[in-house]
Structure 1
Amino acid sequence: MNQRLTPEDIERIAHQRAGAKLGWYVHAVVYVAVNLFIFGISRYGFGDRPWSVAPLLGWGLGLALHGVAVFLLGSGGALRERLVQRERDDLQHRQRNGL
C-alpha cells in the first residue's frame, strides 16, 4: 500500500504545498492592510461608532478557515496525514485478517 514518490512527484507536491502556504500569507497581509485602512476610515472618517469590527470579524473567520484548509487539512497537513495513516493502517489490518 505504501507507494514510493518519484523525484518529480516530490517536486510537484512541494510546489503545490508552497503555493498554498504562500497564498495564505498573501491573504493575511491583504487582510491586515485592508482592515487597518477600514479601521482608519471608521475611526477617523465616517460615523461615530467603530463599524469596522464587522468586516474584521467576518473576514477574520474566512482567513482562519483558509489557514485550517492549508495548514491542517490540506495535502501534507499534520491532521490530514494522521488521518490518512490511520486509514492506511486500518485497511492493511483488514487485508491481513481477511475482513
Structure 2
Amino acid sequence: MERNYTEAERYYEAQKKVEEIKKFYQHLTVYVLTNPIVIVVNLTTSPHYLWFLYCLFGWGIAIVMHGLKAFDYAPFFNKEWEARKIKEILEEENKKANWK
C-alpha cells in the first residue's frame, strides 16, 4: 500500500535522514580520533597484551552497523521489518481486546 506524501512530509523525512547520516559521521569521527589514543595507552601501559584490538573490533562492528542503518543497507531491523512488527503487535492487541 503506497502512501502519498505531502511535500512537508517528504521534507521532514529527508531532514531526518540527513540528521541520521550526520550522526553516523560524528560517530565515525569520534572512532577515528579516539582509537589512536587507546592504542597509545595500551602500548605504553602493557605492550605485551594488545587489548586495544578488542576495542577496535567491537567498536568497529558498532560503526558498521550504524553505517548500514544510516545509509539504508541494513539487512534486518529496516523500515519493512518495523512495519511488519507494528502490524503484528496491533493484531495481537486486537485479539486480546476481542477476547474480553
Normalised by the size of structure 1, how large is the TM-score?
0.67
In 2, the alpha carbon distance for the partners of 1:34 and 1:56 equals 10
Runs (4+) of structure 1 exceeding 4 A deviation are: none
Q: Secondary structure at the match of 1:10?
A: helix
Alignment gaps of 5+ in structure 1: 74-79, 85-99
State the partner residue of 1:69.
69
Cα deviation, 1:49-82, whole Å, max 9, x if unaligned, reads: 3221110101101111111222113xxxxxx68x
1:31 aligns with 2:52: no
CA drift of 1:37 comes to 0.7
In 2, the alpha carbon distance for the partners of 1:47 and 1:3 equals 58
State the partner residue of 1:42.
42
State the partner residue of 1:17.
17
Residue type at the aligned position of 1:37: I
Identity of aligned residues (%): 22
Residue type at the aligned position of 1:56: L
Normalised by the size of structure 2, how large is the TM-score?
0.66
